[in-house]
Amino acid sequence: MKKEKFDVVGMTCSSCSAAVERAVERMGGVISVNVNLLSNNMTVEYDESLVEAGAIIATVSEAGYSAALADSKSQAKTGEVNLAQDEISEMKYRTIVSIALMLVLMYVAMGPMVGLPIPAFLVGVENAATMALVQFLLTLPIVYVNRQYYRSGFKTLWRRSPNMDSLIAVGSGAAVVYGVFALFRISWGLGHGHLELVTHYSHDLYFESGAMILALITLGKYLEARSKGRTSDAIAKLMDLAPQVATVLRDNQEVEIPVADLIQGDIIVIKPGQSIPVDGVIVEGHSAVDESALTGESIPVAKHVGDKVISATINKAGSFKFEATRIGDDTTLAQIIRLVEEASSSKAPIAKLADKISGIFVPVVIAIAITAFVVWLLLGYPFEFALTIGIAVLVISCPCALGLATPVAIMVGTGQGALHGILIKSAESLETAHDLDTVVLDKTGTITEGKPQVTDVIASSVWSEKELLTIGASLEKPSEHPLAEAIVHKAEENKIRFEPVEDFLAVPGRGVQGKINQQTFLAGNRSFMLDHQIDLGEFEAKAELLAQQGKTPMFFATTTDVIGIIAVADVVKSTSKQAIRELMELGIDVVMLTGDNKRTAEAIRGELGIENVIAEVLPDDKEQEIRSLQEQGRTVAMVGDGINDAPALARAHVGIAIGAGTDVAIESADIVLMKNDLRDVSTAIKLSKATLRNIKQNLFWAFFYNALGIPLAAGLLYPLLGWRLNPMYAAAAMSLSSIFVVSNALRLRRFSAEK
């Protein structure tokens, strides 16, 4: 199987993208195809033994469009952004030409009606042919610069898959052809002295209608293209984060080279204020690195030898050297950009529904336009009247707004997610997230910090806390146990001097002992103390109380007396309580899933106010617990670290990996939270709700607009109120509807998690 990206040229609406999708899907060997109208590209997964890229390109061409393999190397920096800029430049040129000539045409055609001065050779019945010819010559360049509508529209109409361009081509083409017919009738009337015929046809040229339809639709498309360009801002901002050059050590000399020329293993020199070009590991020096652009974490992170650094983060203070471990498309930044692009180009179920409706909508509209034209003729109305009705129906029904309703909102929504440090891998997961009613949280590393910390230091009356911590840290320093690491770290924080330990002995599962300044000290659990016949006294009750709070108490003693207790626990993150409260306020049932014992789980449940806790669950059984909740009819999200929780993340309706994202997290989760902050779960859900609300608003207005516009254009209100829609106004209204939908979607750029 092979998955490749193709650039597609010529698509203007969802009917176009649907036509390309249908054509490629019908090919033998094609597994899946996804066409992105906004970025003008298509991703195809296919069996190389049955079909090749050339055949796919040929099929797209037969459908009335152009395609070419996307250049993945250049895509990383210039792909979609350049496509958007090229489209804007081309649409700007067409708009300027169309509007400029249309204004002249409107002045010539409408000037005499409102008393504006026009050249004498265009005034009067005797100059009617000259007037018509001037209008025709002003219309021709407008038709020429917008010939793409006709090329695509008639080609797809011929292949019985009409799209929005078909409506524009037939509508404006009919107006221009009728104008040419009127020009000949005027010439015949002048030649035969039939001045009434000349007067009649000189008022029914319709060149200005055809030209204005093209000009206004092109103006709408230009504004649309600019808006679409703005929706790619998130990707563009991410691309701009990485530097273009890097300073590397070659033959012990510092050399500045393009980032594209870096190879794995290069030693890169970073100075204060510089941006880090690729991912790597520090081999010399130390610094503080600002990772806010990728993780949203505002405080610079201290980095030392052996620590990882990420591409596009900024060195704040100090200089260091690091070894490049990930370059090119493998860097964290490249992965993020790829995820955002894939999410933007994927389709939510609600978008697929809009595509199906759009595919049916265009042929139905053509049928309505023809029916309206024939009915008004049969009712005895003039040919010009019936033609105007038919053209108005075709123009106002163009489903631009319908085609843009979903993809623009999805692109803005996923872009906003990226700016908040939330990577949404597909439009489907973005849509599903708004329906969540249950969020399952892994405890270790998600609710808690994921590493033990000292919480209590309780010394006996004859020892101070500092003396207890000195003895405890000195004894535990030779040990490799995680609880020992926590005590050593606490002592280092308090700048306590470690004493040398002699005759060190570790008893697995019990504790350690050793001599400090010729005196023997013991450190361990209750059993270890009892083994040495140490009387715990009041410390036994204190240890029990600490255990009930989910902490692990460690006893410290001489060979005769207890000198104190140091309690260690995996502490709850400072943001977890607020995050869980926010989820509950959204009406979501929060469940904590942990492999810890029930006592520890209950202590954390009480601290955070979580109603449901499932404790003592093995990693392999977490997936089964998610399945069990789903069988109860719940829509479940699983939040974990993405490594031991991978099966559960994959099983959930929405898998959310928290933390800076390992490869496993990115593979198994639907949403990756770059910050190690549980509050981003509720932010992701709020973003999903805001995006779906925006899509529904867009779809409503797109359908509502057509529901009102088509009957008015078809003349249903003409017998009662004398209302009918001029094709020029229909073109303006159609363009405005698309601009409204795009503008509404862009409101998502103001999304805030606090709302």
Describe the crossing of helices 207-231 and 164-192 by its angle, rounded to 10 degrees. Answer: 160
Give helix then strand counts, H and E, for the chain.
28, 26
Going from the C-alpha of 544 to that of each of 525, 540, 560, the distances in angstroms are: 12, 6, 21
Place of tokens 């088509």: 710
d(CA 571, CA 568): 9
The residue among 549, 522, 526 whose CA lies nearest residue 537 is: 526
Secondary structure string (H, E, C) spanning 62-84: HCCCEEEECCHHHHCCCHHHHHH
Strands, E assignment, 339-485 = 422-424, 438-442, 453-459
Please report which helix (H) or strand (E) contains residue 640, including its range. Answer: strand 636-640
Q: Hey, is 29 helix, strand or coil?
A: coil
Tokens of 488: 């050593």
Q: Hey, is 706 helix, strand or coil?
A: helix
Instruction: Please provide the DSSP assignment of 228-262 as one string.
Output: HHHHTHHHHHHHHHS-SEEEEEETTEEEEEEGGG-
Cβ neighbors of 603 (< 8 A, separation 6 or more) are: 548, 549, 550, 551
Q: Hey, is 286 helix, strand or coil?
A: coil
616-620 LR contacts (CB < 8 Å, sep 24+): 617/593, 619/595, 619/644, 619/645, 620/647
Q: How many CB atoms are located within 10 Å of the residue 195 CB? A: 13
Catalytic member of 266, 355, 442, 570: 442
Burial of 158 from C-beta contacts in 10 A (0-12 / 13-18 / 19+) = exposed
C-alpha angle 563-569-574 in degrees, rounded to nearest 5: 130
CB 237 within 8 A of CB 421: no
Q: What are phi and psi of 70, to 5 degrees?
A: -75, 140
Q: What are phi and psi of 54, to 5 degrees?
A: -60, -40
CB 454 within 8 A of CB 468: no
Q: Hey, is 685 helix, strand or coil?
A: helix
Place of tokens 């081509």: 169
* 245-250 and 253-258 beta bridge pairing: antiparallel
Tokens of 209: 């209608």
CB 679 within 8 A of CB 698: no
Active-site residue 442, yes or no?
yes
CB 486 within 8 A of CB 552: no
Catalytic residues: 442
